[in-house]
Amino acid sequence: MALPIVGLIYIIWSAIKIYTLGFFALLRQIIQKHKAAEVKLHTGKVALVTGGTCGIGFHVSMGLVSKNVHVVMAGHSIQKGEDAITRIREEYPNAKVDFLHLDLSSFKSVQTFVAKIKARGLKVHVLVNNAGIMFAPYKETVDELESHFQVNYLSHLYLTQALIGILEDSATEDCYARVINVSSIVHNVGSLSLQSIGRRCSHCWEYSPHAAYANSKLYITLSTWYLSELYRQENQKVTVNAVHPGIVNTDLYKHVHPSIKWFLNVLAHFTYLTPSEGADTILYLALTPDVERESGWYYDNCQKHKTCQLSYSEKDIKEMFTISTDIINSKIR
φ, ψ of residue 127 in degrees (nearest 5): -120, 120
Query: Rounded distance, CA 283 to CA 241, Å?
Result: 12
Instruction: Give the CA-trace dihedral at 323, 216, 145, 296, to 10 degrees.
Output: -40
3-state secondary structure string across 99-161: EEECCCCCHHHHHHHHHHHHHHCCCCCEEEECCCCCCCCCCECCCCCEHHHHHHHHHHHHHHH
Opening angle at CA 54, ends 68 and 106, nearest 5: 105
Q: Give residues with Cβ within 8 angstroms of 239, minimum separation 6.
A: 176, 177, 178, 179, 228, 231, 291, 293, 294, 295
Query: Rounded distance, CA 105 to CA 96, Å?
Result: 27
Please report which helix (H) or strand (E) contains residue 73, including its range: strand 70-75
Helices 209-233 and 2-31, packing angle to 10 deg: 60
Residue 213 annotated as catalytic? yes
Task: List the catalytic residue out of 153, 207, 213, 226.
Answer: 213
Eight-state DSSP code of residue 324: H
Residues in a beta bridge with 243: 182, 299
Which is nearest to 287 in space by CA: 125, 84, 98? 125
Could you list the active site residues?
213
